[in-house]
Chains A and B, each alone.
Chain A
Amino acid sequence: MGMGIDVRNRMARRAAEEIAPGMVVNLGIGIPSLVPNHLPKETRLMFHAENGIVGMGKSPEKGLEDENLCNAGGFPVTVMEGSSYCDSAVAFGMIRRGRVDLTILGSLQVSQKGDLANWIVPGKKVPGMGGAMELAQKAGKVAVLMNHTDKNGVPKIVESCTLPLTAENCVDIIITDLAVFNIHEGSLILSELFAPHTVTEVTAKTACDFSIVEDIRIIEY
């Protein structure tokens, strides 16, 4: 696998390329939580948590956890220089007002025009939407990190989502274990491939049409 890093970290590293200095970024649980490990040390940015933190830092060392300093998933975090706390209403005001530049989240399905379906797992009880709708609808850029197919090999990038939608027309970029797609004005564009995967393989595992950029990038890491 490339330079020997595992698939999840490859995807996280690619997602980290979406982050520019000075951004406010909200990370979902799962693979998105690996993204900070792939940022250059000197990058100054603010990680936002919807419970009420701007400027979240790395996880604390074992034994140094503070039960009153947790991310939105309930796990202990630290804060960086310049961080601040706020109440949850203000944290969501930042999202609705467009102050969160980028959200990186997981999904169950994404449609070719950027509909996001990530709030109801099939066969499970309805768990509630939490803060996913605000983030999907209002973040400056929505990046989805997900496996290209589900564990049964069924494509997760589809013509039209069969699962209940979180929000319509909101996804800007999809990063899978095979490839990177951009969604521009409602159309899906394959722009990058993770080596050694091919257009043929991606086409076979994608349940909708897409266009391909002329100078497709091959990601070697």
Chain B
Amino acid sequence: MENPFGKIATLEQAMEHFYDGMTLMFGGFGGVGSPPDLIDGILEKEIKNLVLIGNDTGFPEIGIGKIVSRGKARKVIASHIGSNPVAGELMTRGEMEVEFSPQGTLTERIRAGGMGLGAILTDVGVDHEFVAKGKKRMNLNGKDYLIETALTAEVSIVYAKKADPYGNLVFDKSARNTNPLVAMAGNFTIAEAQEIVPLGSLDPEEIVTPGVFVDMVIPSGGVNWQWAWE
């Protein structure tokens, strides 16, 4: 495969971008659409003290859950951790901080980060003790809103069905979920793709994430965990 933009790389090359204490944003929803090889690479390199940002903490041996359940995160920003009991235990023991954000607010904070905005205004949870706690408020046209800060990360990792050498991405059905948002919010975004196709072979109309947001593309070996329904 020609590599005119220098974005196609190996897992080993991708791993040079991970380090202890970094802020890492990941695509996926219940593990669906999370990049399996990058997650394993992070574990093998024994990266720790991570600040993780994503929809949820997967299951103990599925998706980002593999990293969380091995105690490699010091903080998680997510909408729920209910499917990963180990995450709950770590939180209860005070070994992992968890910042909960309502799911739609979280995705919008990530999108805002990716879009170069500082925050969003939303009325979701505006009267809710837990959600509104410590947040700035704004009254606009007679209506109360919470100011929810935008989120970005030092590195974002996403899982795509197809990528071309420029990093243009197409996703697979519901495995799209948070991936296009996470892809935009990374200072450095790595896409793990099930298939890398030649430049020009993706119809410009079908591209979901323009390659301008993607810095590196690596081939994927595919999902290597067993799903809860299997």
Contact = CB atoms under 8 A, between A and B. Distances in A.
B79 A129 contact: yes
Most buried by B among A91, A125, A127: A127
Name the interface size band of chain A: 35 or more
B78 A65 contact: no
Given A89-B111, A133-B102, A76 B229 contact: yes
Interface in B25-77: 29-33, 55-56, 59
A96 B120 CA distance: 14
Contacts of B110: 89
B108 A92 contact: yes
Secondary structure at the A interface, as helix, strand, loop or mixed, is loop
A96 B122 CA distance: 9
A70 interface: yes
B107 A128 contact: no
A52 B227 contact: no
A131 B177 CA distance: 13
Name the interface size band of chain B: 35 or more
A74 B127 CA distance: 30
Interface of A: 49-53, 65-77, 79, 85-89, 91-93, 95-96, 125-131, 133-134, 137-138, 164-165, 167-168
Secondary structure at the B interface, as helix, strand, loop or mixed, is mixed
Contacts of A50: 103-104
B175 interface: yes
Contacts, number: 143
Contacts of A70: 30, 32, 174
B82 interface: yes
B107 to A, nearest CB: 4
11 contacts: A51-B32, A52-B177, A67-B227, A74-B227, A87-B177, A89-B110, A96-B122, A128-B80, A128-B98, A130-B80, A134-B124
B82 A130 contact: yes
Contacts of A96: 104, 122, 124
Contacts of B33: 68
B20 interface: no
A164 B130 contact: yes
A89 B108 contact: yes
A98 to B, nearest CB: 12
